[in-house]
Amino acid sequence: MQRIPVTERPNLSALAVEHEFEYTPGEGISGWDESAYYQFSQDQIENDIVKPAEELEELCFQVVERAIGNEEVLVRLGIPEYFWLYIADSWRNGDKNLCGRMDLSYNGQGPAKLLEYNADTPTTLYESAIMQWQWLEQAVDLEFIPDNVDQLNEIHERIVDILPLFNIDGVAHFACNHDFEDDKGTLGYLEECAKEAGLKTRALTMADIGINEQGRFTDLDDQIITTLAKLYPWEWIMAEEFGKYVPESDVQFIEPPWKAILSNKGLLPLLWGMFENHPNLLPAFFEDDPAAVDFANAGTFVRKPMLSRQGANIQIVKEGQTIFQSDGPYGDSACILQGLQPLPNFMDRHPLLGCWLVASKAVGICIREDKSLVTGTTANFVPHVILG
Amino acid sequence: MKHPHYLVTTLLTSASLFALTACEEPKVDASIFENIEQCMGDPLLTEAQCRSSFKEAQNQHAAVAPKYATAEDCQADFGAEKCEPAPYKTTSGGSVFMPMMAGYMMGSMLGGRGTMMSQPLYRSSQGARGFRTAENRGVGSTTGRTKVASSATSRPTFKTSTRSRGGFGSSGRRFGSGAT
C-alpha cells in the first residue's frame, strides 16, 4: 500500500459540473482529491480486504441472528419494543439487503481492523462507483498512471444486477432529506441504478411522506408506497412520529429493518463478545458493561456514541490523555469503548479504507483522507489502483 | 373500458364496467381462495402463509377496490348485498361505496421477501362471472391452484387519500445529514 502523488486532470471544473459537485478554483472539487492515489497489490486487496470483509459480514449476520431473539441486546441497542418483532420478521423472511460500507483501519500490513459498519445509510457511493472509475480510465489515457492498473470496483454492475432480484413490483420510491446534497446525490445515484435495472422510480423527501387511514404510507400524489429506498437512518425512523406505522405499513424497505442492528455501533461490542480475538476485530465494550471499566482503566481507547455519524462526538484517549475530541449533536447517546487502532499516516494524511458490500459481496473500495485521526466531514475522497 | 380506482372530484355513474380481456398472454401459476379455510385445505400451504396472505389482500382492499358514488351503482356491478361503504369521502363530503372482497389470489412465489404476494379479488354479478382483480382483470372462477394471465398478477395500483404528512424528517432537522 503506497500513497503516490499524481498530476490532476486538467479539466476538473468541467468534471465537477458533469458530476454535480461543487468546485472552487484553487481548491478543486469539493470532497475529492486526485493529487494522489493509493496503490495496493492484488494480494492485499484479495486477502486483507475482500476476504475479511465478506467474513465479517457473515459474523454480523450471526450477531443479527442472536440479537433478534434477545431482549437484553435489543434494549441495549436502543431499539424500541414495538420494532422488535418487525425486525425479527424481516430477518427471518430474508428481506434482501443492498449496500453497506465497512470502515477499516489498514496500513498495508497485518490484518485490517473493523472500526465500524455503515450498514444502513452509507455515502460516497457515487464517488466510489463512478468518479473513481472514470478517474482511473482517464488517468491511464493521459498516461498519468501505468496502463496495467486495475481497481476493485464492481459496485455499479452489482447493484444493477441485484436489484431485479428484489422483486419490486410497481414504483420504487426513494426518500431522504433533500437539504443535504451528499444524501440527495447518493440516493439519486441509487435511483439511477434502479432505472437502469428497469424499475419505475419516484423521489421525495422523508418529510413529504404521508399516511392514510389504513396506515399505509403515501407519496405526494397519494400513491401508496410499497417499496422505499431510504437514505435516512432506521434509528431516526423508529424515533419519529410515523415510526409507529412502519411495522404494519407493508413497505419493502431498502435497507431492510434488520440493518438497524448492524448500523448501530453497539454491533462492535456484540461482535467482540461473540468472536473475541478475531484478527479483524478490535476489543469493544458497551460503556455500561462492567468489563468496560477495566478496559478504560488501561488508559487507551476510543469512545463513540452508539448512534452518531460523520465523526461526531468521538473521543480518543491514549495512555490516560485525551488526544482527540470532536463535538457534535450526539452527546446524549449511550457510548461504546473500542480499542485504538490509529489510522495510518501517509504524507500527513490519515486514510480510512471503506469496503463496499453490495448484497453482501465485497465489490469496491473507497478511501477518504483526513488530516485528523477521526474521519469527518472535511475528509477527501482519494482514488485507488491495484497493481501487481 | 377504463375504470377509475379512486375518486377525485368526479364520480362515475356508469353501470357497465367490465370489459372482457380477450387477448392471449402467458399464463402463470396462482392460487385463488375465497377465505382462509379454503387456503388451509392446500397441503402445501401453512396456516401462517394463508393468514398472512389473506391479511395482505385485506389490507389492500379498501385502497384498490373500485369505488362508486352510490350503493346502487356498486350493486349493479357486483350484486345486491355485495357492496359496502368505503372508508373515504368524496371531496364534497359524500359517501363512497365499493364491492366486498370476494376472495384473494396468491401468486406462486410472485413476490420476494420470502412470502407470496397476495391481492384481493372481486366477483361481478354480470357478464363473465369469475373472479376479477381490482384492476378488472379476469382470473377465472376456479378456486385453489389455477393459471392466470401474468398481467393479472402485478400489484394493483394504489391510490388513496393521505391523512397527514410530516411524520418523518424531524431527526434530520435536528442532526443534519443521515449519511454515514
Question: Which residue positions in chain B have pLDDT lower than 50?
Answer: 1-23, 110-115
Provide φ and ψ at A326, rounded to 5°. -105, 150
Question: At residue A195, does pLDDT exceed 60?
Answer: yes
Kindly state whether residue B92 falls inside one of the protein's structural domains.
yes
Q: Which of residues 56-85 of B touch A (CB under 8 A)?
A: 56, 59, 62-63
The candidate with the shortest Cα–Cα distance to B132, out of B99, B157, B110, is B99
Phi, psi angles (nearest 5°) of residue A73: -65, -45
d(CA A268, CA A122): 17
Separation of alpha carbons A219 and A173, rounded Å: 8
End-to-end Cα separation, chain A, in angstroms: 11
* CA B50/CA B62 separation, integer angstroms: 20
Residues 6+ apart with CB under 8 A from A185: A20, A126
- pLDDT of B4 reads 34
* A206 phi/psi in degrees, rounded to 5: -60, -40
CA neighbours within 13 Å on the CB side: how many for A248? 14
Q: Does A324 touch chain B (CB under 8 A)?
A: no
Sort residue A359 into left (φ over 0), alpha (ψ -120 to 50) or beta: left
Cα distance between residue B76 and residue A169, in whole Å:
32
Mean pLDDT over A356-369 rounds to: 98
CA distance A217 to A203: 14
Calpha distance A233→A50 (Å, rounded): 26
Which tens digits make up the pLDDT trace of A54-66?
999 999 999 999 9
Asked whether residue A165 carries a pLDDT value surpassing 80, the answer given is yes
Question: Inter-chain contact A169–B117, Cβ cutoff 8 Å?
Answer: yes
Residue B159's pLDDT is what?
Answer: 66
In 3D, which of B43, B75, B72, B77 has the Cα closest to residue B145? B43
* pLDDT for res B176: 87
Among the partner residues A93, A175, A211, nearest to B115 by beta-carbon distance = A93
Q: Do A222 and B159 touch (CB under 8 A)?
A: yes
At B92 the pLDDT is: 75
| Mean pLDDT, chain A, whole residue set | 95
Residue B55 in any domain: the answer is yes
For residues A217 and A223, the answer to whether their CB atoms sit within 8 Å is: no
Are residues B63 and A214 in contact, defined by beta-carbon separation less than 8 angstroms?
A: yes
* B18 domain residue, yes or no: no
Is B12 part of any domain? no
Q: Is residue B20 one of the residues assigned to a domain? A: no
> Would you tell me how many other CB atoms lie within 10 Å of the CB of residue B121?
24
What is the structure's pLDDT at A236?
96
Between CA A210 and CA B46 the distance in angstroms is: 34
Is residue B36 assigned to a domain? Answer: yes
Confidence at A169, pLDDT banded by 50, 70, 90: confident
Chain B, 115 to 174: residues with Cβ < 8 Å from chain A are: 115, 117, 154-155, 157-172, 174
pLDDT, residue B76, reads 87
- B115 Cβ contact partners less than 8 Å away, ≥ 6 residues apart: A93, B49, B52, B53, B56
Does the CB of A326 have a partner CB in chain B at under 8 Å? no
Structural domain count of chain B:
1
**pLDDT tens for residues A196-248?**
999 999 999 999 999 998 899 999 988 899 999 999 999 999 999 999 999 99
Domain-embedded: residue B150: yes
Q: Which domain holds residue B30?
A: 25-176
pLDDT at A247: 96
Give the minimum alpha-carbon distance from A323 to chain B in angstroms, rounded to a whole number.
23
Task: Say how far apart CA A4 and CA A87 lie, in whole Å.
Answer: 45
Chain B residue at shortest CA distance from A181:
B177
ipTM: 0.89
Q: Which of A351, A355, A317 is nearest to A335 (CA)?
A: A317
Residue B49 lies in a domain: yes
Q: What does the pLDDT look like over B38-50, one tens digit per residue? A: 999 988 888 988 9
Q: Is A374 on the interface with B (CB under 8 A)?
A: no
DSSP calls for A111-154: --EEEEEE-SS---HHIIIIIHHHHHHHHHHTTSS-TT-B--B-
